[in-house]
């Protein structure tokens, strides 16, 4: 979790030095911002006779509202900037927030409470009423904290978001394995045999070389079967996947709250009417939509509320 800390400095140089000390410290500091009268969106003018800040100024402080509570602190820092000070805001981890505060306290930061007492002693009247000084979004924040004379009904609207995800619908598994099949073939083989035979001679004639020595050798041969195997591809199995796009209509319901205001007659029989024939409830709904949209960052709700107020002449 993170926390936003703030500190006011009399000069921008002091604020820059404090920023450098924060960034040089061995703590995780992010979103260090310096704000003064030269900041984009700041305007010091007041709407003549209205007692409210200008739209530019309201937008400027709306961008910083996360650093403050809706109480007096925001007015004090606003007055400090109006008097030439520089506001430092930084986002730090919760466990390092105390260390960061100590660094800022030792970096010539302004004691905002003591400074406010000095301003009041010199004639500063303080901030105007909270409901006049801020826009509709700030009034909703204050009402949410529980004022005794006000109650708030938030106007909420749902929007439909359609996404997509992949689901497993099964598939195909292909595997190969070996099968041995007995086969037989016939082959003719030849065997040779050597035989020795003695036979009688009747005439007794002696050959001329009868008394010489000789040796006769004869080799027997035989054929045997030799097995060889040849492999060849006889078929292919191809596994492939194709994809088709389809359009599917997804239907659901979204909810929104509507605000309906009925006038209740008092003892004097007085009733309240709106401008240009529009009901007071319609005005309240437009203001509530705009304010709640600013609080939640819902730009569509803000535009809807502004359109409703403009249509009703509010």
Share of the chain above pLDDT 70, in %: 71
3-state secondary structure of 32: strand
Q: What is the pLDDT of residue 36?
A: 85
Task: Tell me: pLDDT of 49 over 50.
Answer: no
Among 5-14, 148-157, 173-182, whose mean pLDDT is lowest? 148-157
Q: What is the pLDDT of residue 9?
A: 93
Any idea which residue has 């260090």 for tokens? Answer: 32
- Among 53-67, 117-131, 140-154, 217-231, the range of highest mean pLDDT: 217-231
The answer for residues whose C-beta is within 8 angstroms of residue 47's C-beta and 6 or more apart is: 53, 54
And the tokens for 3?
């926390």
3-state secondary structure of 284: helix
pTM above 0.85, yes or no: no
Q: What tens digit of pLDDT does each residue of 232-277 get?
A: 998 999 989 898 898 989 888 888 888 888 878 766 544 444 444 4
Contact of 147 with 212, CB cutoff 8 Å: no
């Amino acid at each position: 979790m993170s926390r936003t800390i703030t500190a006011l400095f009399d000069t921008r140089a002091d604020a820059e030095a404090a920023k450098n000390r924060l960034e040089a410290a061995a703590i995780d500091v992010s979103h260090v911002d310096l704000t003064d009268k030269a900041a984009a969106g700041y305007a010091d003018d007041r709407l003549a006779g209205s007692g409210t800040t200008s739209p530019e100024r309201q937008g400027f402080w709306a961008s910083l509202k996360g650093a403050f509570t809706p109480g007096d602190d925001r007015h004090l820092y606003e007055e400090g900037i109006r008097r030439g000070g520089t506001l430092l805001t930084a986002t730090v981890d919760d466990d390092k927030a105390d260390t960061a505060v100590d660094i800022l306290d030792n970096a010539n930061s302004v004691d905002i409470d003591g400074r406010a007492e000095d301003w009041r002693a010199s004639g500063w009247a303080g901030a105007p009423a909270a409901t006049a000084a801020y826009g509709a979004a700030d009034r909703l924040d204050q009402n949410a904290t529980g004022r005794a004379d006000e109650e708030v009904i938030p106007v909420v609207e749902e929007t439909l978001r359609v996404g997509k995800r992949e689901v497993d619908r099964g598939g195909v598994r292909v595997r190969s394995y070996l099968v041995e099949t007995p086969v037989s073939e016939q082959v003719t083989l030849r065997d040779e045999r050597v035989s020795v035979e003695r036979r009688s001679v009747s005439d007794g004639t002696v050959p001329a070389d009868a008394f010489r020595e000789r040796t006769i050798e004869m080799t027997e041969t035989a054929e045997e079967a030799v097995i060889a195997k040849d492999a060849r591809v006889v078929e292919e199995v191809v596994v492939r996947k194709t994809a088709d796009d389809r359009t599917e209509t997804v239907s659901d319901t979204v909810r929104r709250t509507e605000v309906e205001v009925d006038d209740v007659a008092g003892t004097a029989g007085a009733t309240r009417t709106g401008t240009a024939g529009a009901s007071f409830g319609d005005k309240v709904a437009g203001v509530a939509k705009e304010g709640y949209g600013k609080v939640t960052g819902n730009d569509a709700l803000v535009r809807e509320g502004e359109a409703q107020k403009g249509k009703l002449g509010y």
